[in-house]
């Protein structure tokens, strides 16, 4: 694996197959890193080839230096140990000068090699990180799409404060959807949740003591703008109530990503099946613990 596109495609595949669509980003990252790292095989870059060339030259000069030092050592041995012609006995000074020059060159090459090796390693690490990030982006997008399709159903076995809504085979009107959501909120623990009046309520359709909610009975997925609007209202709310968003279809990937950052819980309801689904982690936590306490 060498390209960002192939890494993203591999990450997308892993995201589609991951057993837990509600796994945290950190858990997903660990799984993707473990699968992708062994597949990464990068071509040598120009910086890496330059470092290899310097290393080869450095190794050759070290051999020459060792040979020069050995020659100097041999010429200094007494005649009783090693008999050499007189003209060779006069070479140590010349050899020593050459060895000194080689030593200086080796020092310069060693410094150049260290710099080139560091640059090559840094470039390699950045390339690997780019591939891992591309794989994670693909995996996250695949998981988000699965969340949008599947959601997390409300566990009916958990004790609740009020009765859950009944099935409405013919569906609901937009105003009826607001009353349905108010009933869901009361079922989850926001006992004083009520539909707001047709007044300047800042886009809030249902309000309780701890949470405010916006309801969109759309024929398509909710985009980023309505979620951003709700987050803004929640931030300026004098009671500092948490933000809940309910829709009958689902959300765009961008809306889910923004909601995670803005701490907005996203839900999908089905009036016909009397079901409620959590779409992001914040909604999942509220489904588990209920709305009896404010989640910060």
Residue 96 reports pLDDT greater than 60: yes
Q: Which of 169, 176, 237, 170 is nearest to 202 (CA)?
A: 237
Q: How far apart are CA 243 and CA 295, in angstroms?
A: 10
The C-alpha angle with vertex 137 and arms to 136 and 139, in degrees rounded to 5, equals 60
Q: How far apart are CA 23 and CA 242, in angstroms?
A: 23
DSSP string, 238-280: TT--EEEEEESS-B-HHHHHHHHHHTEEEEEEETTTTEEEE-S
Residue 74 reports pLDDT greater than 70: no
| Contact (Cβ atoms closer than 8 angstroms) between residue 295 and residue 282 | yes
Residue 285 reports pLDDT greater than 70: yes
Q: What are the backbone angles phi and psi of residue 127, rounded to the nearest 5°? A: -65, -45
State the burial class of residue 233 (Cβ atoms within 10 Å of its Cβ: 0-12, 13-18, 19+): middle
What is the tens place of the pLDDT at every residue in 249-260?
889 889 999 999
What is the tens place of the pLDDT at every residue in 16-70?
998 877 777 788 999 999 999 999 988 888 999 999 999 999 999 999 888 878 7
User: How many residues make up the chain in this entry?
Assistant: 296
């Amino acid at each position: 694996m060498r390209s960002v596109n192939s890494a993203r495609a591999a990450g997308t595949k892993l995201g589609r197959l991951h057993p837990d669509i509600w796994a945290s980003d950190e858990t997903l990252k660990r799984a993707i890193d473990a699968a992708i790292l062994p597949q990464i095989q990068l071509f040598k870059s120009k910086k890496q080839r330059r470092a290899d060339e310097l290393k080869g030259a450095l190794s050759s000069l070290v051999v020459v230096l060792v040979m020069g030092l050995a020659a100097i050592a041999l010429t200094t041995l007494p005649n009783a140990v090693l008999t050499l012609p007189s003209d060779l006995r006069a070479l140590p000074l010349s050899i020593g000068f050459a060895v000194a020059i080689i030593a200086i060159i080796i020092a310069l090459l060693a410094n150049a090699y260290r710099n080139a090796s560091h640059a090559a390693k840094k470039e390699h690490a950045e390339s690997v990180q780019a591939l891992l990030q591309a794989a994670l982006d693909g995996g996250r997008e695949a998981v988000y799409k699965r969340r949008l399709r599947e959601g997390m159903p409300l566990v009916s076995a958990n004790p609740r404060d009020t009765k859950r809504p009944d099935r409405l085979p013919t569906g609901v009107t937009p105003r009826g959807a607001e009353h349905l959501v108010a009933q869901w909120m009361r079922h989850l623990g926001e006992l004083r949740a009520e539909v707001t009046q047709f007044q300047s309520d800042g886009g809030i359709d249902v309000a309780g003591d701890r949470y405010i909610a916006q309801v969109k009975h759309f024929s398509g997925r909710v985009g980023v703008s309505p979620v951003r609007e709700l987050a803004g209202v929640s931030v300026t709310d004098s009671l500092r109530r948490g933000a809940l968003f309910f829709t009958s279809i689902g959300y765009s990937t961008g809306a889910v990503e923004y909601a995670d950052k803005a701490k907005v819980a996203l839900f999908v309801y089905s009036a016909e099946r009397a079901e409620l689904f959590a779409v992001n982690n914040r909604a999942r936590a509220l489904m588990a613990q209920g709305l009896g306490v404010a989640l910060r």
